[in-house]
């Protein structure tokens, strides 16, 4: 009896395993049959065709095995091929086999081998001058880098794609490259660059009389909407609708184009917070989509976005109705991605309603695994990780919340590369440079013609003068004098060029020295990972005025006590950086060498060590630092703080509180006194802010005045409920906008900590 039961379990397990991990029984039988035929195949061409049939039916995990065997056979046939046409067809087959290999590595997550396959395929098709395929491979490489979050390399290969199309005089491919570039910028929210590239596409399509002109005008309108320029957005959308009506397409195709444009109009209203107009336009697009065949997905988009619009307008009941309708439609269509999108929208609504338990029920661990399978480490996971973190954090699942926050932070930084704008404008500047070169070339032609004309006149004059012997000696003498002057001028020019070269070399050496000094100064700053390890919820906004800075931040962990400080050394630039090294070293010695743990005593000892260092100088040195020093004792739930000239701000019980610092620096002062140690009640969700005076003292705004501390504190309090990383971004943006075109007057260092 037991034997029969065990046999039954084995059969059930085998069926279950094959159903999940293997091709269907029918497919497997076909593969086995093809493999049997393969063993008896008489020539390589037959074998190659059989391998392609097997690859079309097998599981992706077997792609590499069969594709590699196919590549080996292709190489054998290529060596024996006689006609160019036969070689060309074999190379195309080889490219198809490369695609199977690339898909295998992509599914496996082996991006290095996937990249190598793509570049091998690129070189392969260059050998047969297959313009269309080479262009497509360039596009694939571009998307490969973009999906990895390596935007600068994606831009580099976009430019290579476009250069390749220009080299082959393919304006249609150039426009397609521009369109893809615009789509990339639109995807990451850089609507200005997206609009510029879509405008380039529009110009080419007008020239080529492309029937898709309404489409690109529609995309330009979407970019204006993203830039909050609603009037220009609506102008583009209306122009797109007018063009769609005038095309020679069927009435149904016209209706489809107009429906998509109305959907974009609704998106524009929603993006600019005009919720009522957005819902009206979405409803109009929905009714039109219902009448069109194959437009079920557009119906879903309308329902989902109406729900999200009601959520943004805080009309949660209506939001739930429309998201539920969209979810039902997605289930009818059996579209897993749309189902996931609907469920995520539902969770966001429940989170907004503060029904965190229901939100967590929807965003379960199982749903998270599905999202990872669907999106991998792509851009869509940024928002998903953010909401998993917020929900788990609110419900007290701190370990899971921390994991999601770390992943959110990594993905956010991955897809927000600060060098993007510089890379993106490369082509713009290159085109301007090419234009200037062309204009200069035209000017050179005119100048050369003028020179030839002058030479001709000169010869006539010299011929005439040759007849006048009286003036021959005079002309010769003047010629010698001119030669001598030219020689002197040439020597002077050489001397100037030499001096210029020396100045440039010295300047280069100075910059290299300061850059190296920057690396040395960065070495004294505690790694962000060290701070994150002890303070899971923090941000550090550090903006030196120059390459090196007087401001610095310091952190140390001693016997379960975590110290962190924001300090402002005397001066900025190179002198400030040198003082900061002295002050940082003094802080390190107080806790490591003298084993001090009281914040007041640490500052007292640091002052003593700084003065001791500068007293060795024969000249009087009054340098030192202002500092805000916080000590967190997580084990005993205690917090201590001391400050020299810089205060402490903290938000507790929904109030911004301040502890004033001792009015004396860490350095030479006329009437020194011991620094005060303040004890602060340890209450969870309290946020502390340590800072130097650089932000408040920055000149800017409409009247060129200082930002000041009152406006600074209002900014912090206004954004107190946001994530620390989001607070940092808002503070940084506020500083940049306030500064405008004015020079940064001082170093900036701001630390935010939430316990």
Vertex 700, ends 695 and 701: CA angle to 5°? 115
Higher per-residue pLDDT: 301 or 11: 301
For residues 177-188, one letter each, b for 16 or more C-beta atoms within 10 angstroms of the residue's C-beta and e for the rest, the string is bbbbbbebbbeb
Q: Where are the domains of the chain?
A: 524-754
Q: Is the CA virtual torsion 679, 631, 646, 610 positive or negative?
A: positive
Q: What confidence tier does 497 reach under pLDDT thresholds 50, 70, 90?
A: low
Contacts of 152 (CB under 8 A, 6+ apart): 417, 419, 420, 423
For 31-72, what is each residue's pLDDT tens digit?
A: 888 888 888 888 888 888 888 998 888 888 888 888 999 899
Please state which of the ranges 163-177, 250-264, 306-320, 462-476 shows the lowest mean pLDDT.
Answer: 462-476
Decide if 677 contacts 617 (C-beta within 8 A).
no
Decide if 571 contacts 579 (C-beta within 8 A).
yes
The phi and psi torsions of 245 (rounded to 5 degrees) equal -65, -30
For 696-738, what is each residue's pLDDT tens digit?
A: 999 999 888 999 999 999 999 999 989 888 999 999 999 999 9
| Mean confidence (pLDDT) of the chain | 82
The residues facing 625 across adjacent strands are: 569, 666
The residues facing 553 across adjacent strands are: 566
Tabulate helix, strand, coil % of the chain (nearest 5). 70, 10, 20
Helix ranges restricted to H, 41-168:
44-57, 63-80, 84-108, 111-126, 131-147, 151-167
Give the mean model confidence (pLDDT) for residues 92-105: 89
DSSP string across 161-214:
HHHHHHHTT-HHHHHHHHHHHHHHHHHTT-HHHHHHHHHHHHHHHHHHT-TTHH
Decide if 224 contacts 186 (C-beta within 8 A).
no
According to the per-residue pLDDT averaged within each range, which of 208-212, 281-285, 414-418, 427-431 is highest? 281-285
Number of other residues whose CB lies within 10 A of the CB of residue 612: 10
Backbone torsion region of residue 686, taken as left when φ is above 0, otherwise alpha when ψ lies between -120 and 50, otherwise beta: beta
Please state which of the ranges 377-386, 432-441, 695-704 shows the lowest mean pLDDT.
Answer: 432-441
SS3 call for 670:
coil
Q: What does the longest C-alpha to C-alpha distance in the chain come to? A: 137
Model confidence pTM above 0.75: no
Length of the chain: 755
Q: What confidence tier does 433 reach under pLDDT thresholds 50, 70, 90?
A: very low
For 300-340, what is each residue's pLDDT tens digit?
A: 999 999 999 999 999 999 999 999 999 999 999 898 888 88
Q: Does domain 524-754 have CATH number 3.60.40.10?
A: yes
pLDDT at 694 over 50: yes
């Amino acid at each position: 009896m037991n034997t029969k039961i065990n046999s039954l379990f084995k059969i059930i397990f085998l069926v279950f395993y094959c159903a999940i991990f293997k091709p269907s029984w029918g497919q497997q039988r076909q593969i086995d049959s093809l493999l049997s035929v393969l063993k008896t195949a008489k020539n390589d061409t037959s074998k190659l065709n059989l391998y392609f049939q097997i690859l079309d039916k097998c599981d992706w995990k077997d792609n590499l095995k069969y594709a590699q065997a196919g590549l080996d056979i292709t190489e054998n046939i290529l060596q024996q091929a006689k006609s160019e046409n036969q070689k060309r067809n074999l190379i195309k087959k080889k490219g198809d086999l490369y695609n199977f290999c690339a898909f295998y590595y992509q599914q496996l997550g082996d991006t290095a081998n996937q990249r190598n396959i793509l570049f091998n395929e690129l070189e392969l098709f260059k050998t047969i001058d297959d313009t269309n395929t080479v262009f497509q491979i360039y596009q694939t490489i571009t998307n490969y880098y973009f999906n990895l979050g390596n935007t600068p390399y994606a831009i580099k290969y976009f430019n290579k794609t476009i250069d390749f199309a220009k080299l082959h005089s393919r304006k249609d491919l150039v426009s397609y490259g521009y369109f893809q570039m615009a789509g990339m910028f639109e995807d990451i929210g850089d609507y200005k660059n997206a609009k510029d590239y879509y405008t380039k596409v529009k110009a080419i399509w007008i020239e080529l009389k492309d029937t898709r002109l309404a489409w690109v005008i529609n995309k330009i309108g979407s970019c204006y909407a993203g830039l909050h320029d609603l009037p220009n957005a609506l102008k583009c959308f209306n122009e797109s609708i007018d063009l769609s009506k005038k095309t020679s397409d069927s009435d149904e195709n016209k209706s489809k184009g107009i429906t998509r444009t109305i959907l974009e109009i609704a998106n524009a209203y929603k993006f600019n917070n005009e919720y009522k107009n957005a819902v009206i336009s979405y409803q109009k697009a929905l009714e039109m989509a219902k009448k069109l065949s194959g437009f079920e997905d557009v119906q879903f988009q309308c329902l989902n976005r109406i729900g999200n619009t009601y959520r943004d307008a805080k009309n949660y009941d209506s939001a739930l109705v429309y998201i539920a309708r969209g979810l039902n439609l997605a289930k009818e269509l059996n579209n897993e991605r749309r189902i996931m999108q609907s469920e995520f929208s539902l969770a966001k609504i429940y989170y907004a309603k503060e029904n965190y338990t229901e939100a967590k029920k929807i965003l379960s661990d199982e749903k998270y695994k599905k999202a990872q399978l669907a999106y991998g480490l792509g851009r869509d996971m940024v928002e998903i990780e953010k909401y998993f973190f917020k929900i788990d954090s609110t419900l007290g699942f701190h370990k899971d919340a921390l994991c999601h926050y770390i992943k959110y932070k990594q993905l956010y930084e991955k897809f927000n590369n600060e060098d993007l704008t510089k890379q993106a404008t490369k082509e713009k500047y290159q085109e301007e440079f090419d234009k200037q070169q062309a204009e200069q070339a035209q000017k050179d032609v005119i100048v050369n013609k003028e020179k030839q004309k002058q030479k001709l006149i000169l010869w006539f004059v010299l011929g005439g003068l040759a007849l006048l012997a009286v003036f021959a000696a005079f002309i010769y003498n003047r010629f010698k004098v001119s030669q001598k002057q030219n020689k002197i001028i040439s020597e002077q020019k050489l001397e100037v060029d030499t001096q210029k070269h020396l100045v440039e070399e010295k300047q280069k050496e100075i910059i290299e020295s300061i850059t190296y000094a920057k690396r040395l100064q960065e070495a004294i700053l505690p790694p962000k990972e060290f701070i994150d390890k002890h303070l899971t919820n923090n941000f550090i906004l550090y903006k030196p005025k120059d390459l090196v800075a007087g401001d610095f931040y310091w952190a140390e962990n001693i016997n379960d006590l975590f110290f962190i400080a924001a300090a402002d050394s005397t001066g900025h630039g190179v002198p400030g950086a040198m003082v900061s090294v002295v002050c940082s070293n003094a802080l390190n010695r107080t806790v490591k060498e003298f084993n001090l743990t009281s914040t007041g005593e640490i500052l007292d000892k640091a002052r003593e060590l700084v003065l001791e260092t500068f007293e060795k100088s024969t000249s009087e040195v009054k340098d030192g630092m202002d500092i805000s020093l916080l000590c967190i004792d997580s084990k005993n739930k205690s917090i201590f703080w001391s400050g020299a000239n810089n205060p402490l701000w903290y938000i507790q019980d929904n109030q911004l509180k301040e502890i004033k610092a001792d009015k004396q620096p860490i350095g030479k002062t006329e009437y020194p006194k011991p620094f005060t140690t303040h004890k602060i009640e340890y209450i969870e969700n309290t946020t502390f802010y340590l800072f130097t005076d650089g932000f408040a003292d920055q000149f800017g705004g409409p009247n060129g005045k200082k930002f000041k501390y009152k406006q600074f504190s209002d900014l912090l309090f206004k954004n107190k409920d946001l994530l620390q990383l989001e607070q940092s971004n808002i503070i940084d943006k506020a500083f940049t906008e306030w500064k405008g075109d004015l020079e940064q007057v001082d170093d900036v260092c701001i630390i935010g900590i939430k316990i």
